Amino acid sequence: MESYLEERFGGVQAKNSSEEALRRWRRLCSVVKNPKRRFRFTANLEKRGEAEAIKHANHEKLRVAVLVSKAALQFIQGLSLRSEYVVPEEVKAAGFQICADELGSIVEGHDSKKLIIHGGVDGIAEKLSTSKTDGLSTDEDSIKRRQDIYGVNKFTESEVRSFWVFVWEALQDTTLIILAVCAFVSLVVGIAMEGWPKGAHDGLGIVASILLVVFVTAASDYRQSLQFKDLDKEKKKIQVQVTRNGFRQRLSIYDLLPGDVVHLAIGDQVPADGLFISGFSLLINESSLTGESEPVAVNADNPFLLSGTKVQDGSCKMLVTTVGMRTQWGKLMATLSEGGDDETPLQVKLNGVATIIGQIGLFFAVITFIVLSQGLFSKKYHEGLLLSWSGDEALELLEHFAIAVTIVVVAVPEGLPLAVTLSLAFAMKKMMNDKALVRHLAACETMGSATTICSDKTGTLTTNHMAVVKACICGNIKEVNGPQNASKLCSELPEIVVKTLLESIFNNTGGEVVFNQDGKYQILGTPTETALLEFALALGGDFKSKRDETKIVKVEPFNSTKKRMSVILELPGGGRRAHCKGASEIVLAACDKFIDDTGSVHPLDKTTADKLNGIIDSFAGEALRTLCLAYREMEEGFSILDHIPSQGYTCIGVVGIKDPVRPGVRESVATCQAAGIMVRMVTGDNINTAKAIARECGILTEEGIAIEGPEFREKSLDELLKLVPKIQVMARSSPLDKHTLVKHLRTTFNDVVAVTGDGTNDAPALHEADIGLAMGIAGTEVRISHIH
Residue positions annotated with a catalytic role: 456
User: What region, left, alpha or beta, does residue 563 occupy, with left being phi > 0 and alpha being psi -120 to 50 degrees?
Assistant: left
Cis before residue 197, ω within 30 degrees of 0? yes
Cα–Cα dist 631/571, whole Å: 13
Q: Give 320's DSSP letter.
A: E
Q: Are 570 and 551 in contact (CB under 8 A)?
A: yes
Kindly compute the dihedral angle of the four CA atoms of residues 740, 741, 742, 747, in this order, to the nearest 10 degrees: 80
The contacts of residue 756 (CB under 8 Å, 6+ apart) are 453, 454, 455, 456, 460, 772, 773, 774, 775, 782, 783, 784
Cα–Cα dist 413/347, whole Å: 13
What DSSP letter does each residue of 95-129 carry, written as one string?
T-SS-HHHHHHHHHTT-HHHHHHTTHHHHHHHHTT
Neighbours of 649 (CB within 10 A): 26
Q: Are 567 and 554 in contact (CB under 8 A)?
A: yes
Cα–Cα dist 661/681, whole Å: 13
Q: Are 97 and 127 in contact (CB under 8 A)?
A: yes
Q: β-strands 247-252, 239-244: how paired?
A: antiparallel
User: What region, left, alpha or beta, does residue 245 occupy, with left being phi > 0 and alpha being psi -120 to 50 degrees?
Assistant: left
Nearest to 698 by CA among 723, 675, 681: 681
Q: At what angle are helices 391-411 and 201-235 packed, to 10 degrees? A: 20
Give per-residue burial for 657-685: e unless 16+ CB within 10 Å, then b: bbbebbeebeebbeebeeeebbbbbbbbb
- What is the phi/psi pair of residue 146, to 5°? -65, -40
End-to-end CA distance of the chain: 24
- Residue 318 has, within 13 A of its CA and on its CB side, a CA count of 34
Neighbours of 504 (CB within 10 A): 24
Neighbours of 231 (CB within 10 A): 18
Neighbours of 192 (CB within 10 A): 11
